Amino acid sequence: MRNETLFISDLHLTIERPEVTRKFIKLLKTRATKAQALYILGDLFDTWIGDDDFSPPINSVKKHLKALTDQGTPVFYIHGNRDFLIGKRFSKQTGVMLLDEYSVIDLYGTRTLLTHGDLLCTDDLHYQAFRIKSHSAEWQANVLSKPLIFRLLYARWYRLRSYFHKRKKSQDIMDVNQDTVKQIMAKYQTQRMIHGHTHRPAVHDLEVQGEKAQRFVLAEWKKDSASLLSWSETRYRTEAI
């Protein structure tokens, strides 16, 4: 009986982290087959340079996602800051349904707002400026028009650049802005939010428009630690994988 919904994010799959890929594929072949739905809230891959990229472990991941959706488990995806170029071709090949950057679902009777989380980090002005530019149709068309080898090299350079930029930023700047969280939850009229991105798993109690609310932050997957958020009609819990 399919009586639970699963949420994960920030796996950052790459050839350099085979252990994380194995954990994800095992989840797709076991626990997820019995779920009502699986929601992946961004950064499934550490980088995504276009739907025409077949470098490992992409083909294997797509094959197992397709097997899961074919056997009846819906899989939903919200773009992350690392893999925002995932497109319709990927969706068609895997059966994964792409959601808007802010998406509201009915989670067992409660309106719940889902997002990756990067849009909530409004104190990081440098990143938000880049996000606006990189999400424009013109920028994406220009990048995707380049040869695959060029995009592969650019992705490696960007990952290195991003690493050094993060080292210069304070932890507070890279976390969500609390006022932004409340404004967005009020805009979408929700008292529950689930997101990833910050790699700071926790459950936060807050107040939105005079009502109690909660914000659930999903964990990053690592070689020695990974977890999912499981939700049913009667309870929720974070489970180690």
Q: What confidence tier does 10 reach under pLDDT thresholds 50, 70, 90?
A: very high
Euclidean distance between CA atoms 226 and 219, whole angstroms: 7
Q: What is the mean pLDDT of the chain?
A: 94
What does the pLDDT average to over 39-55? 96
User: By residue range, what is the domain housing residue 88?
Assistant: 5-121+177-240
Over 60: is that where the pLDDT of 11 sits? yes
Q: What's the number of CA atoms in the CB half-sphere (13 Å) around residue 150?
A: 6
Query: Is residue 139 domain-resident?
Result: no
Read off the pLDDT of each residue in 4-22 and give the average, rounded to a whole number.
97
Q: Is residue 158 part of a domain?
A: no
pLDDT tier, 240 (very low <50, low <70, confident <90, very high otherwise)? very high
The residue-averaged pLDDT of 205-222 equals 97
Would the pLDDT of 168 be above 60? no
Pairing relation of β-strands 227-231 and 37-40? unpaired
Dihedral over alpha carbons 102, 21, 162, 135 (to 10 degrees): -30
Report yes or no on 15 lying in a domain: yes
Q: Are 116 and 195 in contact (CB under 8 A)?
A: yes
Residue 167 has pLDDT above 60, yes or no: no
- Which pLDDT score is estimated for 1? 66
| Domain membership flag for residue 165 | no
Q: Is 228 exposed, middle or buried (0-12, 13-18, 19+ CB in 10 A)?
A: buried
- 202 found inside a domain: yes
In a domain, 143, yes or no: no
User: Does the structure show a pLDDT above 60 at 26?
Assistant: yes
Q: How many domains does the chain have?
A: 1
| Nearest CA among 205, 196, 197, 198 for reference residue 229 | 196
pLDDT score of 138 more than 70: yes
- Give the pLDDT of residue 99: 98
Q: Is the pLDDT of residue 153 over 80?
A: yes
Within-domain flag for 162: no
In-domain check, residue 144:
no
> What CATH number is associated with residue 191?
3.60.21.10
Band of pLDDT at residue 103, cut at 50, 70 and 90? very high
Q: For residue range 63-92, what is the model confidence (pLDDT) as tens digits? A: 999 999 999 999 999 999 999 999 999 999
For the segment 200-215, the average pLDDT, to the nearest whole number, is 97
